[in-house]
Structure 1
Amino acid sequence: EGYNSSKNNVLEKVLNFTEDEGVDATIITASAPRNNEIIQQAMEITRKKGRVVVVGDIRLGPKRSPFYEKEIDYLISTSYGPGRYDKDYEEKGIDYPFAYVRWTEKRNMEEYLRLLSEGKVNFQKLISKIFPLEKAPEAYKFLEENHPANPAVLLDYHFRENKKPEKTKIVISQPFTPHHSPSPKLKVGLIGAGGFARGMHLPNLKKLSNLYSIWAICDIDGVNAENTAQKSKAKYCTTDYKDILKDEDVDLLMITLPHNLHSKVAIEAARAGKAVFCEKPMALNEKELNELAKTLEETKVPYLAGFNRRFSPFAQKIKKLIQKRESPIIIDYQMNAGYLPKGHWTQTEAGGGRNIGEACHIYDLFTFFTESEVEKVNAFSIAPENKKYLRNDNFTAGFKFKDGSICNLIYTAMGTKDYSKEQMKIYFEGKIIFLEDYKNLRVFGLRNFSPSIIHRLSFTRAQDKGHLNEIREFGESINNGSGYPIPLWQLIQATKISFEVEKQISSSK
């Protein structure tokens, strides 16, 4: 039997039906995140030693009584069964053993499809009316106002087997500055509208509206692509990045995808004749890097990897101070990176790990300050004694450069947020430069410098890791034809260093 809780006393109905015992089990599939009346009602209608299973999005937290008095089993279940939200299961296809997990997400779906194919699942009695998809609001209004005996409506997508699928591309607005303008802006196609792109790169592109116009947004999530395109006033959005590659109006591709897709899409963009800004890392292995480097050398398109720290105003000031040095430098860099669970995407094959995916920033910074080729690499990792840490969570890496400079990185996930995340000390010619979190810069040993120089070199300001400056310099370099903001050999060196460090820490004991 079925009861409408808004019209019936469900507790009374259930107790009458079960001779005052209550039901054996209650399954909640409702959506009421702010309402705990549903969970309370479920506890009331369930018998002693019964079971309440929550599948829907409801407010949890039943009153202690009758939950406690009835000793009810209270379970939370994912929507499709075991395997849901398990990346190894859903993305890598690693199944659970049949003998131990009979009904997984996949097997549940298989059984449902079998029942459907045999005509054993019939929805006809549930459907009160059919609406075309474009009238979906009317369908919901119909259910809300009429409370039909058949409690569902059907939305018709008008799909037919002989009809071509809908386009993945949606036009949002009219074009911005056309190519024949006297001073055209660089039209940007963003591929990958994740949180970092939305929170950092798109706002920076808007700040640099004299250089850029946001032309197209691509994301695998169509709703996110459309929302992002509307907010950024892009011309169109798409779920297929090749739409942007084929767009002759697009000048520059901004790639902010999972790390394992960086080199692939960058290569395709370069071959399509687009300038490429790709977030770090350039690649996850030597093969990818070599193919990318070869493509860039052949196509000569402007390219920049997102090694932003060298573009920080702090790094720029430091570079000016050490520019005229006559001897090698020693750099000691600390990254108190913080803990990430092993399931975090950066720790998976898509991310490549924290050394290749994040520490590469610092290898580029070392290259920037020394302007020298690396000669020797020594890296050591703490062998994890438990499953909490991976080898590339906690390591040190030392470098000898051909100019004689020595650089050292301490990267750790074992620290605390109460301490600064990044610190750098540079020692040279009787002076020490200290940088903290790209907020505070102090220079010691400037007795022979004028007060005005000391004032310019020691200062505090809001954190600035160079994200805005890197985009600005890239746009300006494209417009004036001055080449890469970072020389290609330096981009490649920073990436190759990360590979060598990864190799050594993976085998360290």
Structure 2
Amino acid sequence: MYQLIQNLKSGETVLETVPAPQVRAGHVLIRTRRTLVSLGTERMLVDFGKANLLSKARQQPDKVKQVIEKIQSDGLLPTLEAVFRKLDQPLPLGYCHVGEVVAVGTGVTDIAIGDRVASNGQHAEMVCVPRNLVAKIPDSVSDEQAAFTVIGAIGLQGIRLINPTLGETIVVVGLGLIGLLTAQLLHLNGCRVVGLDLDDHKLTLARSLGIETLNPSTIDVVKAVVDLTGVGADGVLITASTKSDEVMTQAARMSRKRGRIVLVGVVGLNLSRADFFEKELTFQVSCSYGPGRYDADYEQAGHDYPLPFVRWTENRNFQTILHLLSTGQLRVEPLITEVVPLANYQQIYGQMNGSASGSGSIASLLSYPEATTRPGEQLGTSVRVHQISAGTRLSQSAGVVGIIGAGNFAGSTLVPALKKAGATLQTIVSANGLSGTLLAKKHGIVNSTTRYQDVLDDPTIDLCVISTRHNSHAKLVIEALQAGKHVFVEKPLAIYEDELTDVIAAQQATSQAGERMVLVGFNRRFSPTVQKAKALLGGSASGTVPMNIIATMNAGVIPANSWVHDRTMGGGRILGEACHYIDLITYLTGSHVTAVCMNAMGKNPSETTDSASILLRYDNGATGVINYFANGSKAYAKERLEVYSQERTLILDNFKSLKGYGFNGFSSQSGGQDKGHTEQFRRLVHSLRTGGVPLIPFAELVNTTAATLAALRSLQNGGWVTVG
């Protein structure tokens, strides 16, 4: 299928060929009929992409601060690589979508195949959208009309926040697409509406819809609004897009005492205290479509807010717009400038730095080809990115790799490390098809698909690399083993004890039929600094001499709504990240964990805490302490390891340097940061092609996973937990 994407590095808009998405639980798979181009939002992305690096930095000062902190902690080269990698990740465009349902996921009972629906889907021939972001279209509403549903809901949410009453005067600043829709909705609400814009064409269109208008370039709009009302505007709703602070200044000065100002657009926000203080004005920023937006429980998990307590959610706002369209009260036909076939998208985007297809463009629609398959039929999901000759295809035992998961970590670390290690990359799987296709093109992967079964069913693939969200790891490991594949899975191996039990059973069953390797991505033991530390410790690291090890991870804060913090999806950061250090200490001590005790910050810490200290007791008498903290400065080094053994001390700093005290002939080693990813995959590919023992014994992987799960039980029980 085709999908429109935006390259943030160059500003180029591209129609990309990607595999169609698969329907997921709680989601709806939709074949697209129309999408609306949001000229304001999408023009901002195009302009940002075309700007040079200095201009990009000026537009995002908060990101510049993060870059400086990362340079201080990780060094210049890794930081620059991260910045350019981020800019190299194109964005999918579009969020105003109309189409026909071709499949529904489990748990969706009120949407059927064949229904016409509006959603916030992207400019793509097929989209998979969570149920709560989908609304049925009444029969009397055309596809072109329904394409305004989502953008209309944005204006409607601004109105709900400004809370107008019958007869009030509301000023709408900016009569672009959202502004014209918002002005109509306010008019329907019984308000006197005054629209402000610099474009005479938009002012004329607004007047034809019953809106009073003023042009700030020809009149003092503050004085005009005060003269019209006698007291000033009851509310000002800003839908404009400008870097200037003048819009906010004018909004405050034209408001009556105790007036309300709501920002839907993007404007400068250097506010004058005097303007707000003297009138006791209120100011609020509107968040997109309404309550539920950016809440994973609502959007992804499908948990609706109860209507008696949250009357207007984003989905109910969608339904309201569709109802007003069906009754003819909301008019959108005059706003449609053009309907352009998807293949001719440059007719819109090629002129986006000015206006689409000529002066005065308001709304541009993209039309999509008629369906080539009937609803419910199997859809093609695989794209062959490039063809390789039969002579270069390696045998089954040659280490051919299939990758399931194409997220940030896969793109930034896993795939480049595999490529550098000389692996033959056959297939990559991504849920949406886009991220996998882009990685396939960049790194020469033969196939991009949205079906992970394509990796398991391919007899030429020896190694299945799993880099998905944590709650799918155990399931995919088991299926890959049963399909006869070697498995590399990013940590953790499992997030529940019963999952670990099932993985052990699957590994044992497949080993009886023929040795299948399971490896978890504990890369740090392969770092050059750790390898040097292991060699220096000598007999101490063989498990015969106990030692004390302290590991500190200055992990930094990640947003509270991240999936990583969800116990059922990510397992929490202790399970997902601190396990690295249990493995590392196990490697250096040469022993297994026998007992764990964890204490966490806060009076009642949860299983998903991200600031905790873990005590480890090892079978050979060694001890480990892991301090995993999320409340430190990002300017400080992220990782540190201290080893104490036989009157000697090793200090490992952020995998860049190693200092020794009490070692004959060794005092220090330093270099660029290397966390061992490339060496890990170099050894893995070599092992697959030549045979030999697994890089990490399966028993150690199980012990580390069990110890991490025991740490969570310890937090609940308040004491030591034995690791079986």
Q: Taking structure 1 as the reference length, what is the TM-score of the superposition?
A: 0.83
Q: Secondary structure of 1:146's partner?
A: coil
Deviation at 1:504, TM superposition (A): 0.5
Indicate if the aligned counterparts of 1:381 and 1:392 stay in contact, CA closer than 8 A.
no
Deviation at 1:184, TM superposition (A): 9.1
Pair 1:158–1:17, CA change in 2 (3 A) = farther
Q: Tell me the residue number matched to 2:79.
A: none
Q: Tell me the residue number matched to 2:640.
A: 423
Specify which of 612, 625, 630 is matched with residue 408 of structure 1: 625
CA–CA distance in structure 1, aligned partners of residues 252 and 607 of structure 2: 41
Pair 1:486–1:168, CA change in 2 (3 A) = same
Q: Tell me the residue number matched to 1:318.
A: 533
1:376-395 to 2 correspondences below 5 Å: 376-382=594-600, 384-385=602-603, 391=609, 393-395=611-613
Q: Tell me the residue number matched to 1:435.
A: 652
Pair 1:48–1:159, CA change in 2 (3 A) = farther
The Cα offsets for residues 140-160 of structure 1, whole Å up to 9 and x where unpaired, read as 559634346x84343222345
Pair 1:181–1:499, CA change in 2 (3 A) = closer
Matching of residue 144 in structure 1 with residue 144 in structure 2: no
Pair 1:147–1:431, CA change in 2 (3 A) = closer
Gaps of 5+ in 2: 1-193, 204-213, 720-724
Q: Secondary structure of 1:433's partner?
A: strand
Deviation at 1:282, TM superposition (A): 0.6
1:324-339 to 2 correspondences below 5 Å: 324-325=539-540, 327-339=544-556
More divergent stretch after superposition (115-124 vs 465-474): 115-124
Matching of residue 366 in structure 1 with residue 578 in structure 2: no
Q: Secondary structure of 1:20's partner?
A: helix
The letter for the 2-side match of 1:353 is: G
Pair 1:320–1:343, CA change in 2 (3 A) = same
Specify which of 112, 130, 155 is matched with residue 321 of structure 2: 112
Q: Secondary structure of 1:335's partner?
A: strand
Q: Secondary structure of 2:418's partner?
A: helix
Q: Tell me the residue number matched to 1:83.
A: 292
Q: Tell me the residue number matched to 2:565.
A: 347
Q: Tell me the residue number matched to 1:474.
A: 684
CA–CA distance in structure 1, aligned partners of residues 257 and 389 of structure 2: 67
Question: Relative CO higher for 1 or 2, CA cutoff 8 Å, sep ≥ 6?
Answer: 2
Q: Tell me the residue number matched to 1:506.
A: 716
Q: Tell me the residue number matched to 2:374.
A: 162
Pair 1:419–1:3, CA change in 2 (3 A) = closer
The letter for the 2-side match of 1:400 is: Y
Deviation at 1:287, TM superposition (A): 1.3
CA–CA distance in structure 1, aligned partners of residues 669 and 339 of structure 2: 67
Pair 1:502–1:183, CA change in 2 (3 A) = closer
Pair 1:55–1:228, CA change in 2 (3 A) = farther
Pair 1:253–1:56, CA change in 2 (3 A) = farther
Deviation at 1:320, TM superposition (A): 2.6
CA–CA distance in structure 1, aligned partners of residues 595 and 571 of structure 2: 20
Name the count of aligned residue pairs: 496
Taking every aligned residue pair, what percent have the same amino acid on both sides? 33
More divergent stretch after superposition (108-117 vs 342-351): 108-117
The letter for the 2-side match of 1:372 is: S
Deviation at 1:227, TM superposition (A): 3.0
Q: Tell me the residue number matched to 2:418.
A: 205
Deviation at 1:244, TM superposition (A): 3.5
Pair 1:364–1:133, CA change in 2 (3 A) = same
Deviation at 1:291, TM superposition (A): 1.6
Indicate if the aligned counterparts of 2:573 and 2:609 stay in contact, CA closer than 8 A.
no
Matching of residue 174 in structure 1 with residue 399 in structure 2: no
CA–CA distance in structure 1, aligned partners of residues 265 and 290 of structure 2: 13
Pair 1:157–1:440, CA change in 2 (3 A) = same
CA–CA distance in structure 1, aligned partners of residues 417 and 389 of structure 2: 18
CA–CA distance in structure 1, aligned partners of residues 711 and 338 of structure 2: 63
CA–CA distance in structure 2, aligned partners of residues 212 and 432 of structure 1: 38
Pair 1:90–1:180, CA change in 2 (3 A) = closer
Deviation at 1:284, TM superposition (A): 0.3
Deviation at 1:473, TM superposition (A): 0.9
Deviation at 1:264, TM superposition (A): 1.8
Indicate if the aligned counterparts of 2:348 and 2:357 stay in contact, CA closer than 8 A.
no
CA–CA distance in structure 2, aligned partners of residues 185 and 61 of structure 1: 62
The letter for the 2-side match of 1:508 is: G
Specify which of 454, 464, 474 is matched with residue 253 of structure 1: 464
Pair 1:43–1:117, CA change in 2 (3 A) = same
Gaps of 5+ in 1: none
The Cα offsets for residues 282-338 of structure 1, whole Å up to 9 and x where unpaired, read as 110111112222223333333211111111122222323334348422122232434
The Cα offsets for residues 99-148 of structure 1, whole Å up to 9 and x where unpaired, read as 44321223223333445566665544433443222222224559634346
Indicate if the aligned counterparts of 1:336 and 1:415 stay in contact, CA closer than 8 A.
no
More divergent stretch after superposition (435-444 vs 157-166): 157-166
Deviation at 1:241, TM superposition (A): 2.9
1:180-191 to 2 correspondences below 5 Å: 180-181=393-394, 186-191=399-404
Q: Tell me the residue number matched to 1:6.
A: 199
Specify which of 502, 523, 531 is matched with residue 291 of structure 1: 502
More divergent stretch after superposition (425-434 vs 179-188): 179-188
CA–CA distance in structure 1, aligned partners of residues 241 and 463 of structure 2: 43
Specify which of 179, 198, 217 is matched with residue 428 of structure 2: 217
Q: Secondary structure of 2:356's partner?
A: helix
Q: Secondary structure of 1:144's partner?
A: coil
CA–CA distance in structure 2, aligned partners of residues 228 and 61 of structure 1: 41
Deviation at 1:508, TM superposition (A): 1.6
The Cα offsets for residues 348-380 of structure 1, whole Å up to 9 and x where unpaired, read as 222212221111112212322333333x31303
Matching of residue 92 in structure 1 with residue 311 in structure 2: no
Q: Tell me the residue number matched to 2:124.
A: none
The Cα offsets for residues 385-407 of structure 1, whole Å up to 9 and x where unpaired, read as 38899655222312131x33333
Pair 1:113–1:439, CA change in 2 (3 A) = same
CA–CA distance in structure 2, aligned partners of residues 153 and 485 of structure 1: 56
Deviation at 1:498, TM superposition (A): 0.6
Pair 1:369–1:146, CA change in 2 (3 A) = closer
Indicate if the aligned counterparts of 1:126 and 1:151 stay in contact, CA closer than 8 A.
yes
More divergent stretch after superposition (235-244 vs 182-191): 182-191
Q: Tell me the residue number matched to 2:191.
A: none
Q: Tell me the residue number matched to 1:302.
A: 517
CA–CA distance in structure 2, aligned partners of residues 233 and 45 of structure 1: 59
CA–CA distance in structure 1, aligned partners of residues 288 and 635 of structure 2: 39
Q: Tell me the residue number matched to 1:20.
A: 228
Indicate if the aligned counterparts of 1:391 and 1:505 stay in contact, CA closer than 8 A.
no
Q: Secondary structure of 1:217's partner?
A: strand
Q: Tell me the residue number matched to 2:146.
A: none
Q: Tell me the residue number matched to 1:275.
A: 486
Q: Secondary structure of 2:345's partner?
A: helix
Indicate if the aligned counterparts of 1:31 and 1:57 stay in contact, CA closer than 8 A.
yes
The letter for the 2-side match of 1:135 is: N
Indicate if the aligned counterparts of 1:187 and 1:213 stay in contact, CA closer than 8 A.
yes
Indicate if the aligned counterparts of 2:527 and 2:679 stay in contact, CA closer than 8 A.
yes
